[in-house]
Chains A and B, each alone.
Chain A
């Protein structure tokens, strides 16, 4: 039981390049989330998916797109990276409204630098 896995762990991009961050969970959770974490800013929600087939914007969605590929996988895409997107990105999952354990479970993070 790996929990929440993220790839890659580290990435360096040049301004304007694109990339996709991958996330998968093996806990049969309904809800999945993408956060960014910047020094002194805590965790800010980018997008979330309350259940398979649905996605919604969070607090800071500009410059990002997401895809809930299936119940296990939720990807985050940067179409044209900007230096302001330099951050640590965390994926998380939770049971949602399915009646399972209510906490969020986080992946190990992706450290992204945009030059």
Chain B
């Protein structure tokens, strides 16, 4: 029940296209859903996050869509750029439990010029 599933494992998108990464969870007690971006040789960096009281959050070209009833959330990268090429991780946590995060396995995104 603690698992977070993530798909696809890898994704290739043309420059200017839309990249979509999906995640699903089982534990309905999760109440915080962040996305992290990781470049090779670096630590993951917090990209954008959402709480379950909203269905969508947008920051620049990055949007999280959240479907509470389906227990799914997704990251959309609009106008994808070669500089977006990285590994993306979704995660879930329960705020009241000291924020013990559960991570998805990651999606390697390649944006072709």
A binds B: yes
A48 to B89, CA, bound (A): 19
Does A104 contact B104, Cβ atoms closer than 8 Å?
no
Across-interface contacts of B45 in A (CB, < 8 A): 106
Secondary structure at chain B's binding surface: helix, strand, loop or mixed?
A: mixed
> Number of residue pairs across A and B with beta carbons under 8 Å?
65
A51 to B106, CA, bound (A): 28
B73-113, CB < 8 A from A: 89, 91, 93, 95-101, 103-106
Can you name the residue of chain B whose Cβ is closest to the Cβ of A49? Answer: B98
Q: Which of B43, B49, B100 contacts A48 (CB 8 A)?
A: B100
Does A90 contact B98, Cβ atoms closer than 8 Å?
no
Range of interface residues on A (Cβ < 8 Å): 20 to 34
A48 to B103, CA, bound (A): 14
A62-101, CB < 8 A from B: 90, 92, 94-97
B1-54, CB < 8 A from A: 32, 34, 36, 41-46, 49
Does B43 contact A106, Cβ atoms closer than 8 Å?
yes
Across-interface contacts of A61 in B (CB, < 8 A): none
Does B98 contact A96, Cβ atoms closer than 8 Å?
yes
* Chain A interface residues (CB < 8 Å from chain B): 4, 30-31, 33, 40-43, 45, 48, 50-51, 56, 58, 90, 92, 94-97, 102-109
